[in-house]
């Protein structure tokens, strides 16, 4: 008995039973959503809950412990959201930079033949990856907020630096006087150094010699800029933190909350970054190392010029999702009291009762960022002709 | 044109000895060049500075037994853990009923150990899991078994962590399969629905999802229908597991050659039968190691439920710290809690590595 | 940053949020609602067999389980009084611990029937889906500090770090006080009550701000040495902590109100747990009416005629409840002060039972 080819059947016309099943699934999902939506509408109505985004313009009145953007309780709820997003992005970017740098160190150390380096980094990676990030954050918070001495017995490792259970205090640099002349010298000098460097690079590809004129110009510029600034009357001064009645005041303060989220998230993310980088390096065939050595490149040069560029193609896609994970994990700042977007949304919902709106904004922001990032990643992959798995 | 023979070697290559296995000695490894020597000295100095301090705190100045008073102005307060471990491991479950969570934990431990070797992956084992899960829930609750009823609000510690992990994975798994199939379906509607669900869930922080479940779920259900905190957290965790499992399973589906489906269809198997007997068994078998890794992720994630007021292992540890008779040994408590998580997660990830090794050895014939 | 830049940034933020959140315009649903639901709550509770009460996550004196898991406290007994009124049994109440964030939603969504959980009565809360019944405790917002800091009033606190729990009214009071006296207070904000308290006792903050009643409870139960701490008022505002019910069921609203007023009235009439049986023989028509000897009150509320008798018999009057949980017979030892009957110079006014 002749049968139609199965492949054709599956692409063109599916059997009616299958079709009905699919329609049924879709319909029941739509029904479910409609049911949930009607429940919500009903509940909102019967409980007299106000809906709308008017509250965004009302005064927030609640305090935010610390923020990158200026904030005062007289600002609006809308601005509080922006401030929260600012903190989220701030901590995310800091951790991305730090964990990538440290991840390279740990990842390379793990592959090194030095027994101490590889052993330590293996222990580090396994420990950090197998404990929940929340536990680690609370641990670091306990170390800073309950482990350091109190204000009256501050630890004083360097002049102008105090470590207490209320935070880490550093001097703040103030510049008084005209800033422009020094900056002008700096910009001109660096611009010149950049053009010289471009020229030298071109010359190196042609002649093989590598002059280092650019570096000398940079050094000269720095000296010149400082001299010019000093002669035109720019006076730097350090503002030290001073002990007030309750706390050290002034200077730069890193609160225990900030330190805990920064250290905790960086340590955790470093372990993951290190594994990704190690995976990328491992995937570069051994022959590449050997060939590079054969043409006379040093180990450092091999890593920088031969292996890393190849490993990058394998490292970048998982690193992107790792970066999105960092942003998602930054919401855990809640447990150590650092006010990021999720925390501030929770507070807003509490103060206003506008749960639907708050949750909607929160979801929209996080989805916009993470879906946007993966969309960019897809573009990048298409450009490189890579396939993400 | 030259004859081909010109390129062919006429004589056999002389047999050369295998290159000697260079075994560099410790001295060479530690002090082979300037960089290694510097590293060695640096690490040794750090160790010399840190190790005595840590030892002093953790061992020599530590308080091993006694009450809270002994712990003031001393090193690590291990006595606190000695006094509080039932509270940390089992939360505020009524103390005279604590044999119940202990039995639950032991039952899960036993069935997990039993399921490790490949030869025990049978239908009977699956049924065993089901029996353990259901009877654990009944035993913890107690009303149906005629024991003292304990509301879910009083459950706590390790059983919560285990139950949330196991339940979210077992409930999430079938959904994960459906989503993975939907994502690869030819029907545009199904594909969009699946992709939409997976990407939204994966795009949101789990904390935000728990928060949404805690706040919005009650608003979306009709009057009078309520969920307790545990079920709400479970809903969020299940969504999360389903989306992540779906992506893993999709990897398995993608790894299958198209010929498998075509051959099955050619043999006259229907679509469902093809899926059930040919595609899914192979696809899932191929991704068992990454599935095991997902378990690690979910175990770690259960610790987030502390933000919705559930007493899992971590929050139980935190609440133990409120006793004013003790000087709140935070670091010791978090070390204990972290260690329990570490044992579970490290164990599973090692198992996953071993499995990967073993399974791939079986495939590459 | 200028206002204009801010508006722009908020606009950009909203644009980012718009694709998903942009649906709800600006409208108000509700207003005068609850047409058909009168009596529904009571019927549902009777069918269920117990009352669901929102409870705190452990504020000794107001609501916390004791060693045996039995819930005790002023708020808890306010709820038990309702159970006594409805079922004639104070133990037909179950307590659901809620975080500050969850409590109002839990009430709005019907997870609980009544919320007696040190919740401050404010206009926005009242307008937004719940009805506050009547204050069961008058309170003020306070700072707790170590005595050795030498702080006597708020103005001495310049530059202090203050631990705050988010989602509470004191969070707003904190900002107002700091601004009013230009104190440059440093907020340290946590999402949960335990985290806030631990941070305070761990030395992260100089002060802890919350309701003075809760501070007294924390000091009595969680400080290593309660005498080391002092509580000072944050402002001269009186806050009213009141049990609330959700909109839409006026009968239930009335029941909750009068279950509490029964305790006040009992104190006013000199009826207590010990003499209530004796008082049933009283010839005073007001007492007769109150205890249901002369019928009418119960029927009007949809309860049995002896509901007030049951409350007093099982829980005593307000004074007894106060002393037992937060007053002189408790570890908290909070002065009766504002919470005395109006007759005795306080703010508590029993409403007529006729």
Model confidence at A9: pLDDT above 50: no
Indicate yes or no: CB of C16 within 8 angstroms of CB of A365: yes
Distance CA A343, CA C190 (A): 9
State whether A183 and A300 are in the same domain.
no
Spatial contact of B320 and B226, defined as CB atoms under 8 Å apart? no
Inter-chain touch C13–A150, beta carbons under 8 Å = no
Nearest-Å Rg of the Cα atoms of chain B is 28
Q: Could you tell me whether strands C130-132 and C244-246 are parallel, antiparallel, or unpaired per DSSP bridges? A: antiparallel
Report the C-alpha gap between C166 and C164 in whole angstroms: 6
Are A43 and B190 within 8 A, CB to CB?
Answer: no
Which long-range contacts (C-beta less than 8 Å, at least 24 apart) are formed by A384-387? A384/A313, A386/A313, A386/A317
Q: Return the bridge partners of C267, or none.
A: none
Do A199 and A103 reside in the same domain of the chain? no
In Å, how far from its chain's centre is CA B6?
A: 62
- Does A56 map to a domain? no
Looking at the fold, whether A84 and A130 belong to one and the same domain comes out as yes
Within 98-127 of C, beta carbons closer than 8 Å to A belong to 100-101, 104-105, 108-109, 124-125, 127
Question: Which chain A residues are closer than 8 Å to C23 by Cβ?
Answer: 360
Last residue of a domain, one of A210, A239, A268: A239
Co-location of A97 and A122 in the same domain: yes
What is the C-alpha to C-alpha distance for residues B321 and B289, in angstroms, rounded to an integer?
Answer: 38
Residue B325 φ/ψ, nearest 5 degrees: -75, -10
Q: Which fold has domain C40-137+242-335?
A: D-Maltodextrin-Binding Protein; domain 2 (3.40.190)
A127 in a structural domain: yes
Is the CB of B300 less than 8 angstroms away from the CB of A131? yes
- The reply to whether A265 and A373 lie within a common domain is yes
Sequence-separated (6 or more) residues with CB below 8 Å from residue C16: A364, A365, A368
What is the per-residue pLDDT for A203? 78
B32 vs C: CB within 8 A: no
Q: Which helix (H) or strand (E) holds C41?
A: helix C40-48
A356: which chain C residues are within 8 Å (Cβ-Cβ)?
24
Contact B150, B87 (CB under 8 A): no
Cα A184 to its chain centre, rounded Å, is: 32
User: How far apart are the C-alpha atoms of B4 and B30, rounded to whole Å?
Assistant: 53
On average, the pLDDT of chain A sits at 85
Provide the number of structural domains found in chain A.
2
> Which residue of chain B has the CA closest to A326?
B205
Asked whether the beta carbons of residue A134 and residue B220 sit closer than 8 angstroms, the reply is no
- Cα-trace Rg, chain C: 22
Whether the CB-CB separation of C114 and C51 falls below 8 Å is answered with yes
By the 10 Å C-beta count (0-12 exposed, 13-18 middle, 19+ buried), C279 is classed as buried
The sign of the torsion formed by the CA atoms of A88, A90, A93, A97 equals negative
C-alpha span between C75 and B161 (Å, rounded): 32
Distance from C-alpha of A230 to C-alpha of A69, rounded to nearest angstrom = 32
- For CA atoms A22, A25, A28, A34, the dihedral sign is negative
- Distance of alpha carbon C116 from alpha carbon C244, whole angstroms: 7
Distance CA B136, CA B170 (A): 15
Q: Which residue has the tokens 């071109």?
A: A202
We report the CATH number of the domain holding residue A374 as 1.10.3720.10
Would the pLDDT of A29 be above 90?
A: no
Q: What is the distance between the terminal CA atoms of chain B, rounded to a whole angstrom?
A: 43
- Residue A89 to residues A60, A93, A338, C9, Cα–Cα distance (Å): 21, 6, 13, 14
Yes or no: say if C304 and C322 are a contact pair by the CB < 8 Å rule: no
Selecting from A337, A353, A357 the residue whose C-beta is nearest the C-beta of C189 gives A337
Q: What kind of architecture, by CATH, is found in domain C141-237?
A: 3-Layer(aba) Sandwich (3.40)
Other beta carbons less than 10 A from residue A158's beta carbon:
9
Residues 6+ apart with CB under 8 A from C282: C288, C291
The candidate with the shortest Cα–Cα distance to B301, out of C210, B293, B127, is B293
In a mutational test of the B interface, the residue from C17, C109, C208 whose CB has the highest number of chain B CBs within 10 Å is: C109
Distance CA C317, CA C260 (A): 9
Residues A220 and A120 in one domain: no
Sign of CA dihedral A136, A139, A144, A145: positive
Residue A152 contacts C where some CB pair is shorter than 8 Å? no
Cβ–Cβ < 8 Å for C244, C133: yes
B window 133-192, beta carbon within 8 A of A: 185-187, 189-190
Cα distance from B84 to chain A (closest Cα, Å)?
A: 18
Domain boundaries of chain C, sorted by first residue = 40-137+242-335, 141-237
Which residues, other chains included, contact C136 with Cβ-Cβ below 8 Å and sequence gap of 6+?
C74, C75, C78, C116, C241, C242, C243, C260
Domain with A203, as residue range(s), is 175-239
Per-window interface: A 235-274 vs C, CB < 8 A: 244-247, 249, 255-257
Q: Are residues A265 and A232 in the same domain?
A: no
DSSP secondary structure letter of residue B147: S
Rounded Cα distance, B128 and B113, in Å: 12
Residues A226 and A290 in one domain: no
**Residues C306, C312, C318: CA angle, nearest 5 degrees:** 135
Write down the number of H helices and E strands in chain B. 16, 0
Domains, chain B, in order of start with CATH, read: 156-363 (1.10.3720.10)
Q: Which residues of chain C have pLDDT under 50?
A: 19-36
Last residue of a domain, one of A204, A239, A274: A239
SS3 A243: strand
The reply to whether A88 falls in a domain is yes
| Mode of pairing for the β-strands spanning C161-165 and C186-190 | parallel
Element (H, E) at B38: helix B34-55
Is A245 among the domain residues?
no
- CB within 8 A of A319, min separation 6: which ones? A100, A273, A276
> Domain for residue A41, yes or no?
no
Separation between Cα atoms, residue B20 and residue B4, nearest integer Å? 36
Please indicate whether, in this complex, the C-beta atoms of B309 and C221 are within 8 angstroms of each other: no
Using a pLDDT cut of 90, give the percent of chain A over it.
Answer: 29
- Nearest residue in B to A7, CA atom: B262
Residue A214 falls inside a structural domain = yes
Q: How far is C238 from chain B (nearest CA, A)?
A: 30
Q: Are residues A234 and A270 in the same domain?
A: no
Query: What whole-number distance in Å separates Cα of residue B35 and Cα of residue B40?
Result: 9
Q: What's the CA gap between B158 and B341, in Å, rounded? A: 10
Spatial distance between the Cα atoms of A99 and A267, rounded to a whole number of angstroms: 7
Contact C85, C259 (CB under 8 A): yes
For residues B197 and B194, give the distance between their C-alpha atoms in angstroms, rounded to a whole number: 5
Find out whether A177 and A235 touch, Cβ atoms under 8 Å.
Answer: yes
User: In this model, does residue A75 exceed pLDDT 80?
Assistant: yes
Residues A133 and A267 in one domain: yes
Of B39, B221, B303, the CB nearest to A116: B39
Separation CA A329–CA A294 (nearest Å) = 45
**Closest residue of A to C7, CA-based?**
A79
Asked if B304 lies within 8 A of A115 by C-beta distance, the reply is no
Question: Phi and psi dihedrals of A169, rounded to 5?
Answer: -110, 130
Q: How far is CA C95 from the centre of its chain?
A: 14
| Residue B289 to residue B248: CA distance in whole angstroms | 10
Do C40-137+242-335 and C141-237 share a fold? yes
What does the pLDDT read at residue A330? 94
Give residue C168's pLDDT.
Answer: 75
| Position A225 confidence tier, pLDDT thresholds 50, 70, 90 | confident
A64 dihedral zone (left: phi>0; alpha: psi -120 to 50; beta) = beta
Q: Which chains touch A (3 or more CB pairs under 8 A)?
A: B, C
Say if A118 falls within a structural domain. yes
Q: Which residues pair with C144 in a beta bridge?
A: C208, C231
Are A351 and A208 in the same domain? no
User: Does the beta-carbon distance from C198 to B321 stay under 8 Å?
Assistant: yes
pLDDT reported for residue C19: 44
Residue A341 counted as domain residue: yes
Q: Which positions of chain B have pLDDT values less than 50?
A: 364-365
Q: What is the model's pLDDT at position B10?
A: 75
CA–CA min distance A380, chain B (Å): 19
For residues C96 and C54, the answer to whether their CB atoms sit within 8 Å is yes
Residue B210 to residue B307: CA distance in whole angstroms: 8
DSSP secondary structure letters along B64-115: -SS-HHHHTTSS-BHHHHHHHHHHHHHTTS-GGGTHHHHHHHHHHHHHHHHH
pLDDT category at A108 given cuts 50, 70, 90 is confident
∠ CA B334-B335-B336, nearest 5°, is: 90
* ipTM value: 0.86
Q: Do B324 and C191 touch (CB under 8 A)?
A: no
CB A256 within 8 A of CB A141: yes
In a mutagenesis test of the B interface, which of A20, A135, A265 is the best target, namely the one with the most B β-carbons within 10 Å? A135
Q: What is the DSSP string of A158-181?
A: ETTEEEETTEEEE-EEEEES--HH
B210 interface with A at CB cutoff 8 Å: no
């Amino acid at each position: 008995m002749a049968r139609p080819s199965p492949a054709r059947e599956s692409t063109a016309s599916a059997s009616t039973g299958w079709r009905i099943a699919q329609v049924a699934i879709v319909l029941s999902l739509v029904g479910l959503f409609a049911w949930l939506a009607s429940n919500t509408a009903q509940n909102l109505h019967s409980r007299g809950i106000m809906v709308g985004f008017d509250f965004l313009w009302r005064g927030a009145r609640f305090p935010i412990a610390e923020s990158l953007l200026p904030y005062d309780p007289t600002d609006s709820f809308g601005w509080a959201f922006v401030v929260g997003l600012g903190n989220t992005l701030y901590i995310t970017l800091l951790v991305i930079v730090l964990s990538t740098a440290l991840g390279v160190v740990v990842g390379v150390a793990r592959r090194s033949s030095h027994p101490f380096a590889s052993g330590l980094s293996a222990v580090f990676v396994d420990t950090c990856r197998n404990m929940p990030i929340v536990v680690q954050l609370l641990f670091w918070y306990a170390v800073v907020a309950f482990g350091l001495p109190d204000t009256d017995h501050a630890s004083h490792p360097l002049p102008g630096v105090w470590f207490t259970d209320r935070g880490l205090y550093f001097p703040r640099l103030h510049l008084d006087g005209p800033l422009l002349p020094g900056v002008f010298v700096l910009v001109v000098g660096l611009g010149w150094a950049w053009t010289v460097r471009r020229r030298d690079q071109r010359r190196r590809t042609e002649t093989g010699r590598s002059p280092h004129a650019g570096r000398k110009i940079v050094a000269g510029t720095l000296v010149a800029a400082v001299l010019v600034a000093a002669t035109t009357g720019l006076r730097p001064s350090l503002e030290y933190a001073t002990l007030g009645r309750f706390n050290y005041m002034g200077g730069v303060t890193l609160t225990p909350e900030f330190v805990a989220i920064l250290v905790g998230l960086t340590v955790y993310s470093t372990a993951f970054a290190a594994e990704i980088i190690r995976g990328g390096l491992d995937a570069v065939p051994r022959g590449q190392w050997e060939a590079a050595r054969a043409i006379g490149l040093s180990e450092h040069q091999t890593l920088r010029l031969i292996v890393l560029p190849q490993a990058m193609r394998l490292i970048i896609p998982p690193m992107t999702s790792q970066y999105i994970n960092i942003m998602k994990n930054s919401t855990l700042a809640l447990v150590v009291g650092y006010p990021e977007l999720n925390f501030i949304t929770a507070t807003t919902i509490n103060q206003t009762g506008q749960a639907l709106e708050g949750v909607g904004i929160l979801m929209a922001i996080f989805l916009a960022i993470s879906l946007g990032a993966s969309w960019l990643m897809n573009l990048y992959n298409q450009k490189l002709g890579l396939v993400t798995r | 044109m030259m004859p081909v023979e010109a390129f062919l070697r006429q004589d056999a290559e002389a047999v050369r000895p295998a290159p000697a296995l260079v075994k560099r000695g410790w001295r060479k490894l530690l002090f082979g060049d300037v960089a290694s020597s510097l590293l060695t000295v640096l690490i040794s100095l750090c160790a010399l500075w840190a190790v005595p301090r840590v030892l002093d705190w953790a061992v020599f100045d530590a308080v091993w037994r006694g009450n809270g008073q002994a712990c003031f102005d001393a090193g690590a307060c291990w006595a606190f853990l000695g006094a509080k471990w039932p509270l940390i491991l089992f939360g505020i479950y009524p103390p005279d009923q604590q044999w119940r969570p202990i039995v639950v934990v032991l039952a899960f431990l036993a069935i997990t150990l039993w399921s490790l070797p490949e030869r025990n992956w049978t239908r009977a084992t699956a049924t065993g899991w089901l029996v353990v899960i259901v009877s654990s829930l009944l035993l913890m609750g107690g009303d149906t078994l005629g024991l003292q009823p304990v509301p879910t609000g009083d459950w706590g510690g390790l059983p919560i962590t285990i139950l949330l992990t196991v339940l979210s994975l077992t409930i999430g798994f079938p959904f994960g399969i459906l989503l993975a199939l939907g994502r690869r379906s030819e029907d545009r509607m199904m594909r969009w629905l699946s992709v939409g669900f997976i990407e939204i869930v994966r795009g949101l922080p789990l904390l935000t999802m728990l928060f949404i479940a805690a706040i919005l779920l009650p608003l979306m259900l009709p009057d009078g229908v309520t969920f307790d905190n545990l079920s709400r957290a479970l809903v969020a965790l299940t969504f999360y597991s389903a989306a992540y499992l779906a992506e893993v399973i999709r990897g398995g589906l993608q790894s299958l050659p198209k010929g498998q489906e075509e051959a099955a269809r050619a043999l006259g198997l229907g679509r469902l039968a093809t899926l059930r007997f040919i595609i899914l068994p192979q696809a899932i078998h191929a991704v068992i190691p990454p599935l095991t890794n997902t378990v690690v992720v979910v175990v770690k994630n259960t610790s987030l439920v502390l933000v919705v007021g559930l007493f899992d292992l971590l929050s139980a540890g935190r609440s133990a710290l409120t006793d004013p008779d003790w000087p709140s040994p935070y670091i010791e408590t978090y070390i204990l809690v972290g260690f329990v998580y570490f044992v579970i997660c490290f164990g599973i990830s090692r198992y996953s590595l071993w499995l990967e090794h073993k399974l791939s050895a079986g495939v590459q014939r | 940053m200028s206002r204009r830049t801010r508006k722009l940034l908020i606009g950009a933020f909203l644009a980012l949020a718009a694709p998903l959140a942009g649906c709800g315009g600006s409208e108000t649903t509700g207003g005068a609602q609850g047409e058909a639901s009168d009596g529904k709550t009571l019927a549902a509770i009777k069918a269920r067999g117990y009352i669901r009460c929102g409870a705190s996550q452990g504020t000794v004196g107001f609501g916390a389980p004791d060693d045996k898991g039995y819930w005790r406290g002023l708020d808890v007994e306010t709820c038990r009084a309702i159970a006594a009124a409805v079922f004639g049994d104070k133990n037909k109440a179950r307590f659901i611990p809620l975080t500050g964030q969850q409590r109002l939603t839990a009430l709005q969504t019907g997870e609980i029937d009544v919320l007696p959980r040190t919740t401050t009565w404010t206009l926005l809360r009242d307008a937004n889906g719940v009805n506050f019944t009547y204050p069961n405790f008058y309170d003020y917002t306070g700072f707790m500090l170590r005595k050795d800091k030498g702080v006597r009033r708020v103005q001495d606190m310049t530059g202090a770090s203050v631990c705050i729990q988010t989602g509470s009214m004191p969070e707003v009071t904190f900002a107002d006080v700091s601004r009013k006296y230009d104190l440059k207070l440093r907020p340290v904000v946590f999402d949960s009550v335990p985290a806030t308290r631990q941070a305070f006792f761990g030395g992260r903050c100089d002060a802890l701000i919350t309701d003075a009643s809760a501070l007294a409870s924390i000091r009595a139960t969680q400080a290593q040495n309660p005498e080391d701490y002092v509580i000072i008022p944050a402002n001269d505002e009186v806050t009213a902590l009141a049990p609330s019910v959700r909109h839409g069921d006026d009968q239930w609203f009335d029941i909750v109100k009068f279950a509490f007023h029964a305790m006040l009235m009992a104190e006013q009439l000199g009826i207590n747990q010990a003499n209530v049986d004796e008082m049933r023989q009283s010839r005073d028509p007001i007492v007769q009416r109150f205890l249901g000897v002369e019928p009418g009150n119960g029927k009007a509320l949809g309860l049995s005629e002896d509901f007030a008798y049951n409350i007093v018999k099982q829980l005593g009057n307000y004074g007894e409840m106060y002393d037992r949980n937060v007053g002189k017979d408790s570890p908290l030892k909070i002065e009766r002060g504002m919470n005395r009957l109006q007759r005795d110079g306080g703010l508590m006014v029993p409403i007529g039972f006729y």
